[in-house]
């Protein structure tokens, strides 16, 4: 008998206690708590894992603290390009969008791709036209503008760097990652995962990372696990990090914790990859490993008090 559970993340990186004021820390904790509690209530109402992770990520996209949706960073041409993926572990269905500029909630567009198209991944204008035909309004790219993110772009330009970003105040500007995600196991035993991102500060227009790629930054399979990743996307793509967790469990016989530790603490660092992931297996076990200094994260079992963390415990 599984125990329904939701886990969310808001990015990983060099999150220093010295850089994060008590007031700012409280903002993150309150945001994570509110979102995980909403998702927990959905699980307790017997809603599907797919609906729960979609809503959790939509709420994360709406929170400017995180690098997804409203909080997204700037590309090298001072615009915003957003990516998202959702995956249903029951039927191994996935939907994703990449490089969209005019959709307020990319995760909702990804869900539409899953449910109402014969495809898995749509990009750019094609994804936007599809979403608009399916009832999603288009928005101005300036909706995602913020002064703090623009200053990050200016700083990145001044030193010629491309930065994985998360949020302005608490992260070391030289070492930061930015994605949001959710994984869940529902009362029926179904797993689902969702991941969304605003990408990298000062990235080349058209760059796509691991977040919208099933198996790289997002994966769910009822036979094993649901995973959402956050970190150096190119390395997560090269290692198929999310799927590798599932494969190590299904074919290698590893436990959830063993598989996550192998990928996050061994395989990714070997290629220079930093960050973390959240994972829930088919029995309701939870793992939230990261090899960076911190990761914004929360999880909650149905009927239990949520657990929220930022730093290493």
Catalytic residue ranges: 179
Alpha helix segments (H runs only) across the chain? 22-44, 49-62, 106-116, 124-133, 147-159, 233-239, 241-250, 256-261, 268-270
DSSP state of 235: H
Of residues 106, 96, 77, the one with CA closest to residue 203 = 77
Q: What tokens were used for 83? A: 């990516």
Q: What tokens were used for 292? A: 């960076």
Q: What is the Cα 201 distance to its own chain's centre?
A: 16
Region for residue 204 given its phi and psi (left: phi exceeds 0; alpha: psi -120 to 50; beta: otherwise): beta
Of residues 122, 79, 76, 82, the one with CA closest to residue 99 = 82
């Amino acid at each position: 008998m599984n125990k329904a559970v939701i886990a969310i993340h808001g990015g990983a990186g060099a999150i220093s206690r010295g850089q994060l004021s008590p007031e700012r820390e409280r903002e993150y904790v309150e945001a994570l708590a509110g979102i995980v509690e909403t998702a927990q209530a959905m699980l307790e109402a017997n809603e599907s894992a797919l609906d729960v992770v979609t809503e959790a990520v939509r709420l994360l996209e709406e929170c400017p603290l995180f690098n997804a949706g409203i909080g997204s960073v700037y590309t090298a041409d001072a615009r915003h390009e957003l990516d998202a993926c959702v995956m249903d572990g029951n039927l191994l269905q996935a939907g994703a969008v990449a490089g969209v500029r005019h959709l307020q909630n990319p995760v909702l567009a990804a869900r539409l791709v899953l449910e109402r198209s014969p495809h898995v991944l749509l990009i750019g204008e094609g994804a936007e036209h599809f979403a608009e035909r399916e009832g999603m309004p288009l928005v101005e790219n300036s909706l995602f503008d913020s002064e703090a993110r623009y200053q990050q772009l200016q700083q990145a330009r001044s030193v010629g760097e491309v930065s994985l970003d998360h949020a302005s105040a608490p992260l070391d500007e030289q070492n930061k990652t930015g994605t949001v995600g959710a994984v869940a196991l529902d009362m029926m035993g179904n797993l689902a995962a969702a991941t969304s991102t605003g990408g990298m500060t000062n990235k080349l227009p058209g760059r796509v990372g691991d977040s919208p790629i099933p198996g790289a930054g997002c994966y769910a399979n009822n036979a094993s696990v649901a995973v959402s990743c956050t970190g150096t996307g190119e390395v997560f793509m090269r290692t198929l990090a999310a799927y590798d967790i599932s494969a190590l469990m299904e074919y290698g016989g590893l436990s959830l914790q063993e598989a996550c530790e192998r990928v996050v603490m061994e395989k990714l660092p070997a290629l220079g990859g930093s960050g973390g992931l959240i994972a829930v297996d088919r029995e309701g076990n939870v793992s939230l490993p990261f090899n960076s200094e911190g990761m914004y994260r929360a999880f909650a079992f149905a009927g239990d008090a949520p657990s929220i963390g930022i730093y290493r415990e």
